Structure 1
Amino acid sequence: MPPAKQTAEQINARVAEAQSQIYQLEYDRSTSKVVIEPDTWIQIGHRKNTIADETNFCEAALLDNILQLKSSLDEVNVQQIRKSRLMSNPFEVSKGEFMTRAAIKIANLDAMFDWGLCQLSDGSDSEKELLYFVDIFGGPGGCSEYILWRNGGWNAKGFGFTTKGDYEFQPEMFRVGAPETLDSFYGHNDNGNIFDPDNIRDFIDYVTQQTDNLGAHLVICDGGFYVKNNCQEIISKQLYLCLALLAVSVIRPGGNAILKVFDLYTPFSVGLVYILSKCYARISIVKPVTSRPANSERYLICQNRLNCDRTFSDYLYSINRVLWDHKHSGCDIQHIVSAEVIEKDTPFSNFIRNSNNYLARCQIKGLKKLIAATTDSYKPEPMDQKLLQSTLWRLWKLDHKSNLSSIADDKIKYAADYALQFIDSKTINLFSAPDVSINTKKSLSKLFGNPLEWNFIPVDVTANQGKSIRTIFLSKGNGNVYFFDQNEKEWQQVKGFQLILSPRTIIYGEIVEEISIKDNKQKVVNALHIIDAIMLGGVNVRSFPLSKRLDLCNKFAKALNRPLAVRNSTTVKPVPVRCKELLPMMDLDGFFNNVSINQLSSGTKVLGCDVQSCDKLESKRFYIPRGLLFVRHSQHSMAGSKMSERTLEFGKTFGSRYLWIWTKTSQIYSSAQCFDVVKEDNLVYRMDFDEFVAKFEKD
């Protein structure tokens, strides 16, 4: 009688047993700081092509056994090895709905560490704060897809750094999440070569600037080179180095790193792990069940970045520069930390040796099983694959659907039908209502009543013309964005520039012209400025208070923005996405005091609202405000003897808007500047608002 297939309980027990051995290292941080001594740490030698003699950090018999077993597979064809690998691995699971198995492995690791790696910590303000992550050498993007899916899409922002070509990111192929918040960056030389020091420096600077100089929360790498011989660690040497360099350069204090490595036998690799152990509160070496047992793959998990000291970052950068400049030399760097330093650190040297010996024994078992599976007499272990998959999916919390699948959204062909999933016809009719223009000061008190109930927003678009429009925008994802044509009362596809928004998004905004000037040269680019929102990437925000809606819009815009995409030779060059600043009506003077005066290349001087620019080739960037849009955020009423306040949802706020258009410069003069201005009856002036606010404060 054949053996019975295993139950869900037995599968869970086997997973727990297989992953029970996690090698971790934590230090007493009160010990003295490590001082780098390049003269004694760095050792140069001839370039190696074998690891057979690397037995300082692994038992010689174990390493010799592994190399012999791997060599015995050299004559087996690739197809047979793949078939045997599937038969010999009881935990061989599919990629499910994700684009690659990399996503499943990261989910497995995330579960092993109690979901503390790929999401914001409990103490953070997750409603306002983005999870920033860096995906290195991760094409086509399975790791990024998992992190974005786990965080609900636009709650996370990824920076992809990988070589163009075979290793390039393909976010358009994501199957369970929206790819819009993954920003692929290819560095100074626009080739994504992660070994190139210029690319690395450019990437570090870019991530730092995009994260408000704090750094990312997570660095992740599940990439690697396919190597058939026994030199994988040697060939991957500079990849290891660059992973460690980025793990100490772009991570904020408290951040984590998930780094896939292979053998860790050479002094060079061990030195990298040593340096990481001094930069993080805890490091672990693990092999999850999703990592195939016959290979040497393992994961280095670094938790809680201790500080942003640049000492190790600069040291590793200089080593990479040497390797890059001498890549064709017959000599190589063999040690980056002296053997004496490592041997004196008994907890660390034991940590490396014990993990290497344990994983070597596991790999020997896996290799023997794989070799046996290449024979005709091999009988695979009985396993109900559907039960295995469903059990592991529950264990790793993968058993729920994404709410942001743009592939599913593409099935709804027409924008009008798509919009009706989220809003009703009454709301769509509201979109057709034009702004109410303020054209007489006599109406200010009647229009606004209580100025404490109102905010204002500077706008560039006072009348829709060409690409410059202020209206409602709808996104189906994958670049399919529509705007509501108020004249035709229908949805029109955005054309003429690339506007990238997450699917299931409905926002109110304007396409403005942003201007940058340097060396008397003027550049104008279109940008989307968000004013308000109904849906943000599948999240219904319409009933939130206006201030909260704008906080979420700001987070949404930060996640989507790819400010330097125009410098990459890619087909996707989206326009910038920003969120308007919401200002109280009582602070009109503060707004006018903070606007800048800019001189265009023509010599004309104009008002400017400055916006952030991440391009070092630009001095600054601004747009010209041509009016103020006033919107109501709340309504006060008396309830007995007490005053109550009711916040307004999107429809009420949108329906309340008033537009103050500036057709003459004198309209925005302060009272002190207007002593000789002849006011026109059909225009409203800044001093009219000053009088209205002063009267309210007096009353």
Structure 2
Amino acid sequence: MDPHSDELDDRPSFGQTTNQSVAMKTKGTVKRTFDKIKDAREKGDEDDDDNLSADKYIKIMPQQGVQNPLAMKMMMKMGFKEGSGLGKHSQGRREIVEASKQRGRRGLGHKVEGFEPADIEWDFEKEKIIMQEEVAWIPPSDGNIPSFEEMMSWKVIGEKKRTIDDETMFCNENILEHILLSKASVFDNLEGEEMRRARTKSNPYETIRGAFFLNRAAMKMANMDAMFDFMFTNPVDDHGVGGLQGDGDIFRPKNQEAFINFVLNNTDGKGVHFCMADGGFSVEGQENIQEILSKQLYLCQFLVALGITREGGHFVCKLFDLFTPFSVGLVYLMRLVFNQVCICKPVTSRPANSERYIVCKGLRPNKAPVLKYMDAINQDLCKLLTSVSTTDVNHIVPLQTLLDDEDFFTYIYNSNVKNLHEIRQSDVRKQCLERWQIPNEVRTAPIRQDPQSAFNDLVGESEQDILKHVPLELDRSNLDQIDSVYDYMCVVSGDSERTFMISCGKSVVFFWDRKVRKWKKPEQMRVDLPTKTLLEVEFVTELRGEGKGQRKVTTVHVMDALFLCGKDIRSRHFRERLDQLQKFVKAVHKETRSDLVRLVMPDVFKLEEAALIFDRLEMKLVKGSGSQPRLCFHSQTGNFYHPSGISFVKTVKDPWTMALSKKQQKKYWFNKRQPNSATFECHHDSIATFRDCKLTALRWTWSPGVRVHEDQNHHGDIHLSKEDFITFVQNKLK
């Protein structure tokens, strides 16, 4: 090479830095580098309406020359002339040696396409950090769901696709090309550690991570829960199973049916309030067609969700791209059966990936045709998605139907072209967690407290007396303790003493032994409860069956609750505590864990209807009792157990009481110390807290000689009998 030539040395260590454009073709997709995209923008080839460019956030920094006068003076002494090289014949570099841009452990001079420019600075003043995310719902459908037969005519089976470059019906072509480029070329050339560092610095929400949750996926759910006004964690009532194959494969129709039946059987046939699906699998090397590879996963998650979600319930599912007619058709079908549907990307989901979520609110009652149609589609996919098949289900809703629905099409199109700018790193963790109602704590190993300390932390020092209190025994002499029968509710007790149970985390559960005044672990039984749960319970042996086929089952009858998962419900009305307790017992029940002792809600009666209790009493032959029949109480579950008496709970706090209006035949509350205080609405001051209920509780013990069944013997007149009790209640009702 001529030393006087203007041609530059292109060796890595000495050549002038240039932005070289290299076009690579991989897996049938042409990928443009950063420079080609930049050139296209300068020429005006990019569609301004797409909002692709981030130029408004970038300041181009001028190249800085040598500013140090001492260095310039030294160079002048060595013969340096501006515009000439430093060689004997003015050859060599004419520009200063720029600072090293070496990244990681790459070879010297290696360049990563798309990451060369360094003369830019992000303009933070033009950005804003989003704290309150806006939700844009898909315009609702008219509510008319086509018949199953009509939907079956929508299905189009065609040639199997393994490219996504041409799926531009629901997305701008330039945006799709950018997405495929970023997925398959630019970021693949970065080392893992470099990628993590860049991600941490560029994403202002990165330091939120998972807080105290197990992973970031849980934090995304908390983020979206706050976005949608906490509809995931505050379900409102409407006025893990592996499947038959044992593999948990959601694609198998028999597994789907088994799981749906399992959920419905454990929710009284109603289904769950909220369903979340977060399925995924590795698509390494096939990132561009992730949507095509995931089509059956999308479908099966939607299908199972429709099967297990109750009317009025909600559903959220993780998706990726939504470019193909198949995926868009699935969203269209979900829009038919839910009141509101939204496609969203929470700020906790990294901007650089294609992850987003579909949120469906308020399931409609007429879901059957869509559910049946999805099942039929899945049956086809199970046959077609094999290595030997060359066909596939490409459309499940006619393309013209999707295009004719202007509101729907516009929403999907806009959701695919929305520009998600990465914004500056700032301290947003605290504000976001406060808005999402997530404690600003890191995940740590659970602290295992001793039960007494845990009890003290929950109830405090002022209520320690509830551990020692014994209910007043009811007999003939003190029946007048019951002033109004409308103030009381009652429950049949088992043959063990009522006690307290506290959880310090999962199976670390203790019960209070009143005799030795200590907390003890239950022997020969395993109970799993969420931490910071405090219950009033009885250990009851229930029986099922007759004769030699009779079986005993150890259960825990949950009589009342003070704390559920750390939530204090002591001040709630007794009926409200029972309602929450009922949901809690259902939630912690694990049908497939036969090693766990089952929690049971006993039947609770109003005192004015106490006669119903005696209708459920029966003298039965019980295993281990010889030929002598024993008194048994039949519960609504079909089991029976040996009763030891009736416990009475006063649900109205003194000086308030309840009575029945003769004129309106309605119950009302009134304060015995204040005239004209009668009200048909439950006054807040009349609600008995857990402590009030505990300290005013009564118990009628069915000791030997107490006759509550016609086949029992009655010894003397000192014991309160069934006839005495019923007569007393009837007189009070007059």
Q: Same fold (TM over 0.5)?
A: yes
Tell me which residue corresponds to 1:202.
258
**Structure 1 residue 545 displacement after superposition:** 4.4
Letter in 1 for 2:270: L
CA separation of 1:37 and 1:665: change in aligned 2, threshold 3 A: farther
- The 1-side partners of 2:546 and 2:349 are apart by 52
- Asked if 1:283 corresponds to 2:341, the answer is yes
Counterpart of 1:610 (choices 635, 638, 658) is 635
CA separation of 1:406 and 1:206: change in aligned 2, threshold 3 A: farther
**Structure 1 residue 271 displacement after superposition:** 1.8
**Structure 1 residue 290 displacement after superposition:** 2.5
CA separation of 1:582 and 1:103: change in aligned 2, threshold 3 A: same
Which moves more between the two structures, 289-298 or 548-557? Answer: 548-557
3-state SS of the aligned residue for 1:95? coil
**Structure 1 residue 299 displacement after superposition:** 1.8
Tell me which residue corresponds to 2:613.
591
CA separation of 1:315 and 1:299: change in aligned 2, threshold 3 A: same
- The 1-side partners of 2:676 and 2:130 are apart by 62
Letter in 1 for 2:291: E
3-state SS of the aligned residue for 1:307? coil
**Structure 1 residue 233 displacement after superposition:** 1.3
3-state SS of the aligned residue for 2:206? coil
Q: Deviations over 1:472-522 (max 9, x none)?
A: 112222222111112111111224222223333332211222334499844
Q: Deviations over 1:192-227 (max 9, x none)?
A: 332232332233233334444333333223442232
Name stretches of at least 5 consecutive residues in structure 1 with no aligned partner: 130-183, 367-380, 465-469, 568-572, 613-619
Tell me which residue corresponds to 2:157.
44
- The 1-side partners of 2:468 and 2:553 are apart by 27
- The 2-side partners of 1:590 and 1:217 are apart by 33
Give matches, 1:219-234, under 5 Å: 219-228=275-284, 229=286, 230-234=288-292
3-state SS of the aligned residue for 1:530? strand
Contact 1:4–1:382 (CA<8 Å) still a contact in 2?
A: no
Tell me which residue corresponds to 1:239.
297
Give matches, 1:295-694, under 5 Å: 295-324=353-382, 328=386, 330-331=388-389, 332-356=392-416, 358-359=417-418, 383-384=425-426, 387-398=427-438, 410-412=447-449, 414-423=450-459, 427-434=463-470, 442-445=476-479, 448=482, 450-461=484-495, 463-464=496-497, 470-517=498-545, 521-562=549-590, 564-566=591-593, 573-594=595-616, 607-612=632-637, 620-634=638-652, 635=654, 638-639=672-673, 648-662=688-702, 667-669=707-709, 679-681=715-717, 683-694=719-730
Contact 1:609–1:625 (CA<8 Å) still a contact in 2?
A: no
- The 2-side partners of 1:308 and 1:494 are apart by 48
Tell me which residue corresponds to 1:135.
none
Which moves more between the two structures, 229-238 or 480-489? Answer: 229-238
Letter in 2 for 1:420: N
Tell me which residue corresponds to 1:159.
none
- The 2-side partners of 1:266 and 1:597 are apart by 68
Q: Deviations over 1:402-428 (max 9, x none)?
A: 9xx9966x253x222222223466754
**Structure 1 residue 190 displacement after superposition:** 4.3
Letter in 1 for 2:500: I
Contact 1:46–1:330 (CA<8 Å) still a contact in 2?
A: no
**Structure 1 residue 656 displacement after superposition:** 4.3
Letter in 2 for 1:417: S
Name stretches of at least 5 consecutive residues in structure 2 with no aligned partner: 1-60, 62-118, 658-670, 679-684
Equivalent pairs, count? 586
**Structure 1 residue 63 displacement after superposition:** 2.8
TM-align CA RMSD = 4.1
**Structure 1 residue 241 displacement after superposition:** 0.7
Tell me which residue corresponds to 2:16.
none
CA separation of 1:253 and 1:646: change in aligned 2, threshold 3 A: closer
TM-score (norm 1): 0.72
Q: Deviations over 1:599-639 (max 9, x none)?
A: 87899786443344xxxxxxx44444343223444455853
- The 2-side partners of 1:281 and 1:197 are apart by 27
3-state SS of the aligned residue for 2:250? coil
TM-score (norm 2): 0.69
- The 2-side partners of 1:398 and 1:591 are apart by 46
Which moves more between the two structures, 537-546 or 222-231? Answer: 537-546
Q: Deviations over 1:45-85 (max 9, x none)?
A: 45443323434433444434433443224454444443443
Contact 1:558–1:578 (CA<8 Å) still a contact in 2?
A: no
Larger Rg: 2
CA separation of 1:324 and 1:522: change in aligned 2, threshold 3 A: farther
3-state SS of the aligned residue for 1:256? strand
- The 2-side partners of 1:77 and 1:478 are apart by 41
Letter in 2 for 1:317: D
Counterpart of 1:217 (choices 273, 294, 319) is 273
Counterpart of 2:211 (choices 93, 96, 104) is 96
CA separation of 1:10 and 1:482: change in aligned 2, threshold 3 A: farther
- The 2-side partners of 1:262 and 1:499 are apart by 40
Counterpart of 2:200 (choices 61, 86, 90) is 86
3-state SS of the aligned residue for 2:530? coil
Tell me which residue corresponds to 1:118.
232
3-state SS of the aligned residue for 1:574? coil
Contact 1:483–1:491 (CA<8 Å) still a contact in 2?
A: yes
